[in-house]
Structure 1
C-alpha cells in the first residue's frame, strides 16, 4: 500500500471511538489495532531490515525493539507464558507497530506536512462535537457509536468549572487534551494551513475542552520553551538548552530548601485540585517503592502495594512503565527519546525540527501527570517515530529557521 494511503487509513482508524472495537476470543480488536496487525510484518521488513539507515536510526530502532521485547518478557514472568504472550504480544504490535508505521510513512518534511494536513482535517471534524459536549453534556460520537454497536456509553466523570469534559472520539477527556496539545504549534507555523488563528485555535480549544491539567500543562510548557528559544536567539546566547537544564536543576534544589516535598509543591501548582495533587504525590511515593522492590521485570499487571483507600490508577506514564515492565524497559525508551531529541536539535534543517523538539518535551512532561493508554499510547510511539524523519538520510533540506 502507498505510504500516504496507509497513513490516512491508520489515522481514520485511530480516530474511531472505542465502541467500534470488538472481541475475538479474549482479544479486543480496535480499528487501529487491526491496521497495525495487518501491516506489522511489512513494516518490520521495510524499516527494521532496511539497508538505507544511519547508525543512529538503527540505534533508536534497536532501543524501541528492546523496550517492547522486554515488556513481553516481563509479562511472561509475572503473568505466565500464555497471558504474557497474549497481552505482551498486543502491546508489542501496538507500540512497535505504531513507531514503525511513522518511520515508514513519514520520511521527510513533505511527508510531515501531509501528516499535518490529515491532523488538521481530523481536528476540524472533532471540533463541533467537542464544543457541543462541553455545552450540553451530550457525548454525540461516543453515544452514537454505542447505539450503533448495541453497547452503552456511561460518563462517570464530573464536570469542572460548570462545563462538561469533552471526550469527542477518545476513551477519556485526558486523551483528547494531550492529543490536541501536540498539534497547536504545528498548525500555527505550517505553510500548508492558511489560517494562522482559526485552525491553531481549534487545536487549542480541543486541549482545553478536556479540562485536564495534562494537556494544558503541555501547552504552557510549549509556550515557555518557545519564548526561551526566541529570547536566547535574539540575545545571541549559545547553549540555551544546556542552560535551561541547569536552571531547572537549580530551581528544584532551591525548592528542596523551602519545602519538605518539592514534588508535592510542584504538583499542587499544576493540578486543578489539591486532592489530585495529594494523590499524585502518594502515587509517586508508593509507585517508586514498588519499582525499588521489583527493578528488573516489574510487577506486570499485578496490583501494587498502597493504602487500601487509594485507587489503583497510576497517573504517570513513566512511573507505570517502570512498575509494570521494570527499569530496563523504562531506560531503553528514555534512551531512545534522548537520541531522537538530541539529533533533532543537532540537525535543525527546518523550523519544524525545533517545534517537534518543543512538543516532544511537553509530551514528556504531560506523561508525568497522566498515563498514556489506548489511542494516546499508540499516538505517543507514532509521534516518537516521526522524530526520525528530521535526521534521516531522506529528509528534505529546507533551511527555514524559526
Structure 2
C-alpha cells in the first residue's frame, strides 16, 4: 500500500464523480457539474505532478490528447462561437482532465490499491442506493436535481424492479460505472474483506437493470476466467494476444457471414430488449449517414437527422456519437489511444510478479470491457470522466515495470 497522500487528488475527483451532475454551477451559461469543476481545478496539479515525476509521454498519451484537441477545435467549425466555447470546453475538460489525473497519480499497483481501498465507501453507498431504489420502486436522488428525461421515463421497470440510477443521470450510466469497478476489486490482491466487499458492491450494478451493465459483468467474468485458466491450470502468465486474435476472427466472421456487418450485430443483439436493439440499429444507420456528410468536424450539438417518430435525441453508441458530434478523426484518435494504452499496459508488465500482474490486469480488463460496451451505449457526464481516468491509469501503469 502506498502513502494515502499520493492518491488524495484522484480520490477527490472520484468522489466528485459520485455527486449528482445536477449540482452544476452555472458560470454565465457554462455548466460546471461537480466532476467537471473538480477536474478543471485539479488538471494543473496533475500536469505539475507529471513534470515533477518526469513521467514520459508515449503514443497513447499523444493520441488521446490529440483527439481531445480535435474535438475542441471541431466545435468552432460546426457551432456558433458561444456554443463552441461551452461545448468544446466541456468536452476537452471531461476527456483530458480525468485522463491527466489518472495518468499523473495512479502509476503503480501500490497506489492503485490504496486508491480502491479509500474509494470503497463510495462504491458501497452507490450500491445500497441502487438496491433500495430498485426494490422500493422509488428514486431517491434523481428527482431532486434537474434532468433531461421526462418524469415517466425516470420510473422505468424491468423484471419487476425499478431501473435504479442513484446519483447518475441514467440507469445505464450507473450500471456501467459500477461494473467498471468489478475487475479493479476482484483482481486487486487486497487482503481481508476489502476485496470481496468491493467485488460484491460492484455487482450492485444489476439493480440498474441495464443490458450494458449485464454485458460488462459477463465480459469481466470471461476475462477473469480466461486469466485464471492460465494462472492456476496452465501455471503460466495469461496470453492476451490469443484473445486479440479470437476477437479479430469473430469480427471478420460476423462481417463476412452475418449479412449485416459485425457492428450492427453487436449493436442490436447486446441488449435485454429487442425493441432497444432495433432502435439502436436505426440510430446506427442515421448516425453513419451523418458522419458521411460531415466526416471531419461533425455537427456539434446540432440535432442529428433522424425519423420524425424518433423522439429521443441520444446516440446509443459512444464511438458513433464522437464521430457524429466531433468528426471521425476524434473517434479514431481517442479510440486508438485507448487501445494502445490497453495493449501497452498488458504487454509491458509481463515481468511483474503474479500479485502485481493481477492488479494491473484489473485495470486492463476494466478499460477493455467499458470500451467494448461503449458500442452499445454512450458514455457521458460522470461516466466519461471516469472512463478517461481509467485510461490514464492504464497508460501510467504501462511503465511501472520498466
- Which of residues 47, 59, 63 is equivalent to 1:44? 47
- Cα distance between partner residues in 1 of 2:331 and 2:135: 40
| Counterpart residue number, 1:189 | 187
Unaligned runs of 5+ in 1: 398-402
- In the TM superposition, what are the counterparts of 1:243-322 in structure 2 within 5 Å? 243-255=242-254, 259-263=258-262, 264-310=264-310, 311-322=312-323
- The answer to whether residue 382 in structure 2 is matched with residue 375 in structure 1 is yes
Cα 1:244/1:192, change in 2 over 3 Å = closer
- Report deviation, 1:360: 1.4
Q: CA deviation at 1:376?
A: 0.2
1:235 is displaced (CA, Å) by 4.4
Q: Cα deviation per residue 1:108-152 (whole Å; 9 max; x = unaligned)?
A: 222101221133111122222211101112222334x54xx9xx9
Show the counterpart of 2:368. Answer: 361
Residue of structure 2 in register with 1:78 after alignment: 78
Superposition deviation, residue 62 in structure 1: 2.2
Report what 1:204 is aligned to. Answer: 203
Question: Offset of 1:86 from its aligned partner?
Answer: 2.3
- The answer on 1:161 being equivalent to 2:159 is yes
- Aligned residue pairs total 386
1:187–1:193 CA contact under 8 A, matched in 2: no
Deviations 1:278-337 (A, max 9, x none): 111121222112212222111111222222222321100011111111121111112211
Residue 230 (structure 1) aligned to one of 228, 232, 236: 228
Residue 7 of structure 1: which of 6, 10, 17 is its match?
10
Q: Distance in 1 between matches of 2:307 and 2:103?
A: 43
* Structure 1 length-normalised TM: 0.87
* Matched position secondary structure for 2:161: coil
Within 5 A, what are the aligned runs for 1:118-197? Answer: 118-143=118-143, 145-146=144-145, 154=151, 156-157=153-154, 158-192=156-190, 194-195=192-193, 196-197=195-196
For residues 239 and 105 of structure 1, what CA distance do their matches in structure 2 show? 27
SS of 1:107's equivalent in the other structure is coil
In the alignment, the residues of structure 2 paired with residue 255 and residue 191 of structure 1 have an alpha-carbon distance, to the nearest angstrom, of 37
Q: What residue ranges of structure 2 are gaps of 5+ in the alignment?
A: none
More off after superposition, 357-366 vs 7-16: 7-16
**Contact 1:142 1:153 (8 Å CA) reproduced:** no
My pick for the range that moved more, 359-368 or 120-129, is 120-129
Q: In the TM superposition, what whole-angstrom CA distance separates every residue of 1:223-276 from its partner, at most 9, and x where no partner exists? A: 222223333554479994333333333334444565432544444432111111
State how far apart, in whole Å, the 2-side matches of 1:377 and 1:112 are: 20
Normalising to structure 2: TM-score of the pair? 0.87
Q: CA deviation at 1:193?
A: 5.0
Classify the secondary structure of the residue corresponding to 2:157. Answer: coil
* Separation of aligned partners in 1, 2:140 and 2:128: 10
User: What SS does the corresponding residue of 1:28 show, helix, strand or coil?
Assistant: strand
* Gap change, CA 1:381 and 1:253, over 3 Å in 2: closer
Q: CA RMSD in A?
A: 2.7
Partner-residue secondary structure (3-state), 1:120: helix
- 8 Å contact from structure 1 (residues 109, 396) kept in 2: no
